[in-house]
């Protein structure tokens, strides 16, 4: 064999020419056999003439370019979909692809069909996942407000847009093909897709905000309106033949088979595997893929896109864990992150701004004006309906912008219409560029105009210090991530000493990361779906607190909630619930978990971000709880071994005063030893200077408690600098079960001199950060007082004076139980 000529046969490995297709002249590609993998450059074989190397190059270039464009667009708050479409525009004939040599090398006719096929497979799976994340029952939760706004958001642009076409067509004489293309584009511009809206909301971190929940319901209503209009139009334009009637019956039959055959099979297999001993693979992965293929193939056989069957199979299945979570984890990596960018980029590759025929070149501007008028009508219709429903003007404008956002569903529809010649190349180009323009501007303006934290900015002072000074009820919101957080939280509740004359209301919030579903959830525990695995864990948490509540019947009132949302925005649920329940203190776990030997066992970065966000915008005081219950060996929920010794480290400042106010309440508990360690500088002994008299009064009150009660102690430590302060704190050893400390102090204080240069966890303050060291084995509560000195006084939960209570009256305060629906506990039901 002559190796010098080996590989030359791949120079002209494919030939192409034009043939008559179903709609127009199309390219016919003749590919030489055995052109899958290259023989290698050392054999003088060009890898880009072969299918596999060319496919890998195309995918790599598309993914890398889309990431770079996304990074450039990030300051403008643009989504990945926009970056991927722009990638196709840049790589396609509108820019780089205008060079014929580059186009023949990067996207030859033979290589185009391969990447299109593979990317369509990825899109089908991605659409299945989008359907899987949709909870069909959400439409029942949409109130009259969402129904009105969602309907107006579709009806206004669809009707006024078509009226605009009719007017312009009669006055300017638009060609019939231009009218047909523009009418299709108007119906596309009028719709708002539920999966697209929830994706945009999640990317903007407002999915679980008040606006996000309203937009979620409105988009579902708007999409249903577009389905009905599309169905009515399809029935009206179809030929009145038996074949058309059979096609409709077959599509309805496919939907029935999906819901009544495929869905029960998958659910039964999932339940069967979940009961088995092997918990590694709960989801029947391969049966799901098989039924997905059957549903997609059936859709293609009936004349609709394969994604139709895949999407409705996903909608029919239960969202959330275990099915939605596990399938999303296994399929999203290659379907959504690898193949989907190629599918979206192909829409940009098909755009060609240089390809404007003479028949349309005078109508392109007019088509674009009609599209912009349609989007304007959609914006005005949504805003007007929102204002009619008494939505604040700022929120109404932001909701209107959100309803104008479009994405993967609209891009897919445009591609399908172009392939079917519903829209021509010019109209396709205009629709794609208008989607990019309108969605990009809308996203940016929503970020600029909408502040989700304004919903829970309190106008009232809600602090522990204020509660103590004005005899108000203490109301706690406890955030929990799992059952392991429960025992120490229960110990904290018991240490606050709830009594019949000084009761405590507390609210537990189980925080769950949103996986396998599209919409966020904030719901009372008793309204949760019993088939949801998160319900089982929430039930364990609730049962533990109810057993503790029974111990303090009449002194504790509780309500239990669960929030499922992205960790990037779940702080909205924490703050919203705190505002609605008028909480005095939010207690959230620290992001580090400690092992039984005292070392750091696990670090959770997203939880740290949650804590930072809550600290920044909470409507009340906040405490970060560093739980070392494992190292203490005190994990019993039944309180057989609880806290006995609590210390308060006092340096000075509002946060220390807030922590001391809580410590004063703990000092009332008869069997709890409470010690206040007051750090003072030598220079302060002669000149007592308190910037706030409430701080001075608290210290005096505590000294009075220490003088009258044997289990309350006041210790004064005289230090010169931060080194001596550290030595005193280090000497605490294992003497205490829990230590309270304020977060912020006067950084110019001599007591902290030398300690403020470096901090690993600034959210805990100087002393709190020091107490995270593995050298300490007690739990720590770092308290931060609500910001704002000019806030109004809120006495809506003022307690009755003790002298007005009847002796022997052991019943629960009726105003607390009736007002908020606190229920009597019956452990026999659990």
CB 782 within 8 A of CB 765: yes
When mean pLDDT is compared across 11-15, 82-86, 400-404, 825-829, the lowest value belongs to 825-829
Mean pLDDT of the 176-186 span: 84
- φ/ψ of 476, rounded to 5, equals -115, 140
614 close to 586: Cβ distance less than 8 angstroms: yes
| pLDDT score at 326 | 80
Residue bearing tokens 């959100």: 402
Mean pLDDT of 123-142: 79
Q: pLDDT value at position 789?
A: 65
Instruction: For residues 557 and 549, give the distance between their C-alpha atoms in angstroms, rounded to a whole number.
Output: 7
Strand partners, 558: 506
* CB 737 within 8 Å of CB 777: no
- Judged against a pLDDT cut of 90, whether residue 817 lies above it is answered with no
pLDDT the model gives residue 241:
57
pLDDT (0 to 100) of residue 20: 57
- Quick one: pLDDT band at residue 234, thresholds 50, 70, 90? low
User: How many CB atoms are located within 10 Å of the residue 280 CB?
Assistant: 6
Q: In the predicted model, what is the mean pLDDT of residues 156-170? A: 88
Taking residues 592-618, report their average pLDDT: 85
With pLDDT > 90 as the criterion, what percentage of the chain qualifies?
18
Per-residue pLDDT, averaged over 798-807, amounts to 51
631-659 per-position pLDDT tens digit:
555 444 444 467 889 999 998 888 998 99
**Residue, of 471 and 572, whose pLDDT is higher:** 572
Confidence of residue 385 (pLDDT cuts 50, 70, 90): very high
Q: Which of 404, 358, 396, 354 is nearest to 379 (CA)?
A: 404
Mean pLDDT of 7-17: 51
Q: How far apart are CA 732 and CA 776, in angstroms?
A: 8
Using alpha carbons, select from 323, 347, 298 the residue that is nearest to residue 116.
347
CB 773 within 8 A of CB 740: no
Q: What pLDDT is attached to residue 799?
A: 66
Q: How confident is the model at residue 530 (pLDDT cuts 50, 70, 90)?
A: low
CA distance 135 to 517: 7
pLDDT at residue 338, as a whole number: 86
Q: Look at 93 and 683; give whichever has higher pLDDT.
A: 93
List the single range of 197-201, 491-495, 747-751, 778-782 with lowest mean pLDDT.
747-751
The CA-atom distances, in angstroms, between 362 and each of 358, 359, 375 are 8, 7, 22
Quick check: 806 pLDDT over 70? no
The pLDDT score that the predictor gives to residue 825 is 33
Report the pLDDT value the prediction gives residue 689, as an integer from 0 to 100.
55
Phi then psi for residue 427, to 5 deg, are -65, -40
Please check the confidence at residue 358 and state whether its pLDDT lies above 60: no
Tens digits of per-residue pLDDT, 71-99?
998 888 888 888 988 998 888 888 887 78
DSSP letter (8 states) at residue 66: H
Strands 585-589 and 474-480: parallel
Q: Which two tokens stand for residue 43?
A: 């054999």
pLDDT band at 273 (very low <50, low <70, confident <90, very high): confident
Is the predicted pLDDT of residue 522 greater than 90, yes or no?
no
For the residues of 184-208, what is the DSSP string, one character each? Answer: HHHHHHH---HHHHHHHHHHTT-TT
Cα separation of 630 and 589, whole Å? 14
pLDDT score of 795: 60
Confidence of residue 441 (pLDDT cuts 50, 70, 90): very high
Lay out the sheet containing 504-513: strands in order across.
Answer: 521-524, 556-565, 504-513, 474-480, 585-589, 621-626, 779-784, 738-742, 645-650, 673-681, 712-719
pTM for the model: 0.80
Tens-place pLDDT, residues 749-802 = 778 887 777 778 888 988 998 998 888 888 999 999 988 766 655 666 666 664
**Of 223-237, 346-360, 509-523, 585-599, which gets the smallest average pLDDT?**
346-360
Given this model, what pLDDT does residue 756 score?
A: 74
Give kind and range of the element (H or E) at residue 622.
Answer: strand 621-626
Q: What confidence score (pLDDT) does residue 257 get?
A: 92
**The two three-digit tokens of residue 521, written as one number:** 């959830």
The Cβ of residue 819 has, within 10 Å, a number of other Cβ atoms equal to 13
Q: What is the mean pLDDT of residues 521-528?
A: 79
Torsional sign, CA 566, 572, 578, 581: negative
If DSSP codes are grouped into helix, strand and coil, which group holds residue 625?
strand
CA distance 817 to 815: 6
pLDDT band at 1; cut points 50, 70, 90: very low
SS3 96: helix
- Cα–Cα distance for residue pair 232/249, rounded to 1 Å: 15
**Chain centroid, CA 798 distance in Å:** 37
Compute the half-sphere exposure of residue 359: CA atoms within 13 Å on the CB side of its CA.
Answer: 9
Q: Rounded mean pLDDT of the chain? A: 80
In sequence order, the β-bridge partners of residue 559 are 507
- pLDDT confidence of residue 816: 42
Burial state string for 28-56 with b = 16 or more CB within 10 A and e = fewer than 16: eeebeeebeebeeeeeebbbebbbebbbe
Strands 792-793 and 460-461: parallel
Predicted local distance difference test score (pLDDT) of residue 794: 63
Residue 507 pLDDT: 93
Question: Where do the DSSP E strands lie in 497-591?
Answer: 504-513, 521-524, 556-565, 585-589
Asked if residues 786 and 747 have their Cβ atoms less than 8 Å apart, the reply is no
Could you please report the per-residue DSSP string of 52-86?
Answer: HHHHHHHHHHHHHHHHHHHHHHGGGT--HHHHHHH
pLDDT in tens, 451-475: 887 777 766 788 888 888 777 888 9
Q: What is the pLDDT of residue 610?
A: 92
Q: Strand, helix or coil at 624?
A: strand
> In this model, does residue 62 exceed pLDDT 60?
yes
Instruction: Tell which residue, 1, 19, 18, has the closest CA to residue 9.
Output: 1
């Amino acid at each position: 064999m002559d190796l010098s000529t080996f590989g030359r046969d791949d120079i002209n490995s494919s030939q192409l020419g034009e043939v008559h297709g179903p709609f127009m002249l199309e390219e016919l590609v003749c590919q030489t056999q055995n052109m899958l993998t290259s023989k290698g450059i050392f054999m003088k074989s060009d890898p880009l003439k072969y299918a596999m190397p060319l496919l890998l190059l195309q995918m790599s270039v598309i993914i890398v370019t889309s990431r770079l464009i996304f990074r450039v667009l990030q300051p403008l708050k643009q989504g990945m979909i926009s970056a991927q479409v722009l990638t196709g525009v840049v790589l396609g004939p509108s820019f780089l692809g205008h060079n014929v040599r580059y186009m023949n090398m990067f996207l030859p006719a033979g290589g185009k069909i391969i990447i299109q096929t593979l990317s369509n497979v990825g899109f089908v799976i991605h659409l299945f996942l989008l359907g899987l994340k949709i909870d069909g029952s959400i439409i029942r939760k949409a109130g009259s407000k969402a129904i009105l706004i969602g309907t107006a958001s579709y009806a206004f642009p669809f009707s006024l847009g078509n009226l605009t076409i009719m007017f312009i067509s009669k006055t300017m004489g638009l060609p019939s093909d231009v009218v047909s293309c523009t009418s299709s584009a108007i119906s596309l511009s009028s719709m708002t897709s539920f999966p697209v809206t929830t994706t945009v909301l999640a990317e903007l971190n407002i999915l679980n905000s008040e606006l996000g929940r309203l937009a979620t319901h409105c988009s579902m209503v708007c999409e249903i309106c577009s389905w009905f209009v599309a169905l009515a139009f399809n029935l009206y334009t179809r030929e009145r033949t038996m074949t058309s009637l059979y096609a409709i019956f077959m599509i309805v039959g496919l939907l029935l088979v999906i819901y009544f055959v495929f869905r029960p099979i998958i659910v039964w297999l999932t339940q069967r595997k979940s009961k088995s001993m092997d918990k590694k693979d709960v989801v029947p992965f391969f049966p799901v893929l098989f039924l997905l293929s059957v549903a997609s193939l059936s859709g293609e056989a009936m004349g609709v896109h394969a994604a139709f069957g895949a999407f409705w199979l996903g909608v029919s299945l239960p969202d959330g864990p275990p099915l939605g979570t596990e399938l999303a984890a296994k399929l999203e990596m290659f379907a959504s992150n690898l193949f989907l960018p190629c599918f979206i980029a192909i829409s940009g590759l098909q755009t060609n701004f240089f390809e404007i025929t003479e028949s349309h070149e005078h109508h392109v501007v007019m088509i674009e004006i009609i599209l912009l008028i349609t989007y304007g009508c959609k914006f005005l219709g949504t805003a007007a309906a929102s204002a009619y429903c008494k939505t604040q003007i700022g929120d109404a404008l932001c909701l209107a912008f959100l309803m104008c956002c479009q994405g993967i569903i609209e891009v897919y529809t445009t591609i399908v219409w172009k392939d079917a010649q519903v829209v021509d190349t010019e109209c396709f180009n205009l629709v794609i560029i208008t989607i990019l323009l309108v969605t990009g501007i809308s996203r940016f303006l929503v970020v600029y105009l909408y502040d989700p934290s304004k919903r829970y900015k309190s106008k009232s002072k809600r602090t522990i210090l204020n509660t103590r000074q004005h005899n108000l009820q203490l109301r706690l919101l406890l955030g929990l991530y799992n059952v392991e957080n429960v025992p120490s939280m229960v110990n904290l509740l018991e240490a606050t000493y709830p009594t019949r004359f000084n009761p405590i209301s507390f609210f537990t919030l189980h925080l769950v990361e949103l996986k396998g579903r599209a919409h966020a959830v904030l719901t009372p525990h008793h309204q949760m779906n019993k088939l949801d695995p998160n319900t089982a864990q929430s039930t364990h948490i609730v049962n533990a607190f109810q057993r503790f509540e029974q111990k303090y019947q009449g002194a504790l009132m509780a309500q239990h909630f669960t929030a499922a949302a992205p960790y990037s925005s779940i702080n909205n649920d924490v703050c919203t619930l705190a505002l609605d329940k008028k909480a005095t203190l939010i207690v959230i776990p620290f992001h580090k978990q400690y092992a039984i030997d005292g070392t750091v066992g696990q670090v959770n970065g997203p939880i740290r971000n949650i804590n930072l966000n809550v600290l920044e915008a909470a409507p009340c005081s906040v405490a970060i709880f560093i739980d070392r219950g494992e190292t203490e060996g005190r994990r019993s929920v039944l309180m057989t071994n609880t806290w006995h010794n609590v210390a308060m480290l006092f340096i000075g400042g509002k946060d220390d005063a807030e922590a001391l106010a809580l410590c004063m309440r703990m000092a009332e508990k008869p069997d709890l030893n409470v010690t206040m360690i007051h750090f003072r500088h030598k220079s302060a002994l002669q000149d007592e200077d308190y910037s706030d008299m409430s701080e001075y009064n608290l210290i005096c009150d505590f000294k009075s408690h220490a003088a009258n009660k044997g289990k309350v102690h006041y210790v004064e430590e005289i230090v010169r600098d931060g080194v001596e302060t550290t030595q005193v704190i280090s000497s605490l050893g294992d003497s205490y079960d829990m230590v309270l400390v304020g977060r912020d102090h006067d950084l110019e204080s001599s007591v902290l001199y030398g300690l403020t240069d470096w901090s690993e966890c600034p959210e805990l303050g100087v002393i709190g950060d020091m107490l995270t060291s593995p050298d300490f084995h007690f739990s720590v509560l770092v308290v931060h007082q609500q910001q704002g000195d000019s806030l109004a006084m809120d006495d809506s939960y003022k307690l009755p004076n003790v002298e007005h209570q009847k002796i022997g009256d052991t019943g629960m305060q009726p105003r607390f139980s009736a007002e908020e629906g606190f229920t009597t506990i019956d452990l026999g039901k659990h």
